[in-house]
Amino acid sequence: MPMHLIDALATTEPLSALFSDQSILQAMLMFEAALARAEARCNIIPQDAATAIVDAAQATGFDAATISKEAQLSATLGVPLVKALTERVRRKNPDAAGFVHWGATSQDVCDTALVLLLKKAEPILESDLLRLEVALHRLAEQHANTVMLGRTLLQAAGPVTFGLKAAGWLGAIHRGRKRLNNSFKETLIVQFGGATGTLAALGKDGVAVGQALARELGLTYPEAPWHTFRDRLATLLCACGVLTGSLAKMARDVSLLMQTEVGEAAERTDKSRGGSSAMPHKRNPVGCVSALAAANRIPALVSSFLSSMIQEQERAVGGWQAEWPIVAAVIQATGLDAAAMAEVAEGLSINDARMLANIEATRGAVFAERAMMLLAKKIGHAAAQKLVEDAVRKSLDQNRRLAEVLGAMPEAKQHLDPKVLRDLEVPEQYLGVADEFRKRLLNFTKEENSS
C-alpha cells in the first residue's frame, strides 16, 4: 500500500502499511476472533457461534470509511467495528450474532489491537537497529587508528579517533535498543476488563477467559486490566524518545562532518540520492536529514502522551482517545530514524586524509593542552598555562606552528628538549586511552548481543 504524500518523510513503507486502515481493522478483528475462540474453549459461548465469528472476522469487505465516520458518534472505533462484525455474522448465523464481543468493552478491543500492531512493529524496528549496530561495529574496527580532530563547543580540540566516535554512537544506540526491547516486553499484554475492569459479565470465569484470550493472541496476561493505567505504553514511548535522541546525535555529528569545509565523512551518493533541485554539485546528508526530522517530532509527541496519562476513574474522557495517533506517530518516526541511520552507517565513507589535513590546519594549536601538561610538571600549572597561551597567540598571529613558537621561547625551551618539541604535534601520541574506551564499548555491545 503506497504511503500518503504527507507521510513520505515521516515513516517507512513497512510501518505505513502496519498502521493502514486495513491493518488496524484486522488487528481489531483478531481480538474479536480470539475472544470467541477463548470463550468457546471455556464453555462460555457455543462452538458454532465462535466458528461463525472467526469466519466473519476478516478485514476484507469492511468499510473503513463508514467505521471511521461512525466512530465520531461514539468516541471509539470499537462500537462501529463491533456493530459491523455483528451484522456480518448475523447474515450467516443469526444465533451467533448475539455472542459477538461477549463480555468485552470497546477499550478492550482497541487497546489489544494497538498492542498487536506494536507486536508487529517490534521486529521491524529491531531489524534496522541491528543493521545499524553491525555497520557501526565495522566502522569502529576499521577506523581504530584513524585520527581526527575532537571538537568541543564546535571548535577544534585535541585529537580523537573516528573508531572511538563510531563506538560511542554504537554504545548509545545499543543501550537505547535494549531499553526499547524491555519496554516492548512489558507492553505486549492483552487488555480485557469488560465494562468497568472487573469482567463482571463473565462471573468467575473472567480470568480463565482472559488467559485463554492472551494465549490465542500470543500476548502476556497482566495482573489486572489496565484501562486507565497507561504507564507501560508511556515507558515504551519514552524509550523511543531516548533512542531517537541517540540516533539524532549520530545524525547531527555525521551531517557536521559532511560540511564542505570539514569534508571528513560522506553519506553514500548516487544519481538518485542527496541531490539538489537547484545546485547540481551538492550531495546532501539526506539520511541524517530524515533522522533529525523524525527526532524533532518525537519529544512533543511523547510529552503529549505523558499528558494523556492522567485518566479519570475507570474510563478516560479524552486521554485514552488521544493515544492512537500519538503512538502510531512515535513508532513510525522511530522506525524512520532507525532505517535512515542504518543506511547512513552502511554507506558512510571516511576521508582520513582530510581528517589529518584538518588537524594540520590548526598549526599545532590543538596540542596546547599537551604542551601545558608537560610544562606544568616543571613550572607549575598556572605558569605553564600562561606560557602556552602566549605561545598559541603568537602562533596564530604569526601563522607559525605551536611547536616552532615554543622552541623559540627561552622559558619553554629550557624545560622541553628538542625531541619532545618535535613530537609535540604527533596526534597518535596524544590519544590517551581512546582505544581502550573503543574496545570497552565494542566488548560491551558484543557481550550484550550474545547474552
Closest CA to 74 of 88, 62, 87, 84: 84
Burial of 293 (0-12, 13-18, 19+ CB in 10 A): middle
Classify the C-alpha dihedral 11-17-22-25 as positive or negative: negative
* From 276, 303, 307, 349, the catalytic residue: 276
Residue with cell 600549572: 381
Contact predicate 11/332, CB 8 Å: yes
Output the nine-digit C-alpha cell for 373. 601538561
* From 131, 175, 268, 315, the catalytic residue: 315
Using only C-alpha atoms, the chain has a radius of gyration, in whole angstroms, of 30
Contact predicate 10/295, CB 8 Å: no
Q: What's the Cα-to-Cα distance from 74 to each of 71, 97, 150, 348, rounded to whole Å? A: 5, 21, 58, 51
277 flagged as catalytic: no
Residue with cell 558484543: 446
276 flagged as catalytic: yes
Distance CA 71, CA 82 (A): 11
Catalytic machinery residues: 276, 315
